[in-house]
Amino acid sequence: MKKIIYLGIVLFSVSLMVLSFRTDSANRKELAAPAKDSVGSVKAFMSVYKVLMSPRCMNCHPSGDVPLQGEDSHLHTMNVKRGVDGHGLYAARCSNCHQPANTPGVHMPPGNPKWALPPAKMPMVFQGRTPRQLALQLLDPKQNGGRTKAQLIDHMAKDDLVGWAWHPGDGRKLPPVNRAALVAQVRLWIAKGAYAPAAKAK
Amino acid sequence: MITITVNGQRHDLDADPNMPLLWAIRDILGLTGTKYGCGAAQCGACTVHLNGEAVRSCVTKVSRAAGQQIVTIEGLSANNNHPLQRAWNELNVPQCGYCQSGQLMSAAVLLRENPNPTDQDIDDAMSGNICRCGTYQRIRAAIHKAAELQSAGAKL
């Protein structure tokens, strides 16, 4: 009799333990959402930083009013300038030479229907920014073209001119990672808390 | 068939849509005032107006001009009496002349948008038009002169 009672208690205890291991769908969702993670967030951003500071991105996000050209990001020839709306000035407007698509051939003008710099009132400078400065700038709607975090992701993922970077025409190097990988890192950076790197990070 | 309007006249072109506009203008339409200088949008000799904007016809496809208004140097004025053309004549601007139609077409956009340009404005507008003979000083002077003529003409 005692053995039966003892066995019953053991079986009941084991059942309770087994039942406690079950994870229902609510628990599964909680486990899937990344917790805030400053280290992981910054690590993801540093991958984003490398892309945004590569010539295919940075050349059209210059610190001055002159776009940049080439793998060495020298000043665009012919004295072209941003202008008020980012589309150039007078007979040197961007679309005067830059066509809706890349002109074939090395050193021929690349092209996109939206070819332009950011406007003078919202220059969205990348050139010369430290990782911390760029992260904070990207997150600030007053500096990033009025974008929410979701819109920032959308811009990286879907904007046509951003997408040009991976189809830059003859003789131009691609950014360090493909677009899908960039967007994944942007999502991760934001999902893990959108932390900005430390001031000394390079 | 691609239809473009050049200097106010409609043309139906039997041309590949990818043909550079410069070829269509010179070889099909016979308007040889616009020049081939580099073929790479780096000299400005091929500059024409596309809906009023100064485009480089050596890299502009004819398809981009379909249904649009093109003006070449031949159409800048009816009687060579555009203020720029008058100023160019008065100051004997050209030397060999090869770059000059492009210079005039670029300057025309500048003067339309800025009737009283400064030297900086001229730099901003004209630096993309190069001149192997080095007539830059006369080009600059002629633009200032044309601005005066234009202003005087407007007052009449």
Task: Compute the nearest-CA separation of B54 from chain A (Å).
Answer: 5
Q: What element of type H or E holds B42?
A: none
- Is the per-residue pLDDT at A189 higher than 50? yes
Looking at residue A24, what is its pLDDT? 52
B40 in A contact zone (CB under 8 Å): yes
A69 in B contact zone (CB under 8 Å): no
B78 in A contact zone (CB under 8 Å): no
Looking at residue A35, what is its pLDDT? 82
DSSP A75-109: EPSTT----SSSSEETTEEHHHH--SSPPSSTTSP
Nearest CB to A99; choose among B59, B110, B127: B59
With 0-12 CB in 10 A as exposed, 13-18 as middle and 19+ as buried, what is A123? middle
pLDDT in tens, B8-37: 999 999 999 999 999 999 999 999 999 999
pLDDT in tens, B66-112: 999 999 999 999 999 999 999 999 999 999 999 999 999 999 999 99
Write phi, then psi, for A130 (nearest 5 degrees). Answer: -75, 165
Residue pair B134/B72 in contact (Cβ under 8 Å)? The answer is: no
- Is the per-residue pLDDT at B46 higher than 50? yes
The ipTM estimated for the assembled molecules is 0.95
Looking at residue A19, what is its pLDDT? 63
With 0-12 CB in 10 A as exposed, 13-18 as middle and 19+ as buried, what is B110? buried
Would you kindly state where each structural domain of chain A is located, as residue ranges?
A: 35-74+123-191
Q: List CB contacts of A16: < 8 A, sequence separation 6 or more.
A: none
Work out the average pLDDT over A150-170.
97
Q: List CB contacts of B120: < 8 A, sequence separation 6 or more.
A: none
DSSP B72-138: -GGGS-SSS-SHHHHHHHHTT--SS-TTHHHHHHHHHHHHHH-SS--HHHHHHHHTTS--TT--HHH
Partners of residue A89 in chain B, C-beta under 8 Å: 124-125
- Rg of chain B over all Cα atoms, to the nearest angstrom: 15
Looking at residue A34, what is its pLDDT? 63
- Is the per-residue pLDDT at A30 higher than 70? no
A81 in B contact zone (CB under 8 Å): yes
More confident residue, A72 or A33: A72
Per-residue confidence band for B43, with pLDDT thresholds at 50, 70 and 90 = very high
**Pairing mode of beta strands B47-50, B9-13:** unpaired
Work out the average pLDDT over B116-137.
98
**Pairing mode of beta strands B2-6, B9-13:** antiparallel
| Structural domains of chain B sorted by starting position, each given as residue range(s) with its CATH number in brackets | 2-75 (3.10.20.30), 83-155 (1.10.150.120)
When the pLDDT of each residue in chain A is averaged and rounded to a whole number, the result is 91
Q: Which of B22, B46, B68, B109 should one mutate to test binding to chain A, selecting the residue with the greatest count of A CBs within 10 A?
A: B109
CB contact under 8 A, B105 and A91: yes
Q: What element of type H or E holds B32?
A: none
Work out the average pLDDT over B47-70.
98
B5 in A contact zone (CB under 8 Å): no
More confident residue, A136 or A20: A136
Q: Which of B22, B38, B103, B124 should one mutate to test binding to chain A, selecting the residue with the greatest count of A CBs within 10 A?
A: B124
Looking at residue A7, what is its pLDDT? 79
Looking at residue B26, what is its pLDDT? 98
Looking at residue A29, what is its pLDDT? 46
pLDDT in tens, A99-126: 999 999 999 999 999 999 999 999 999 9
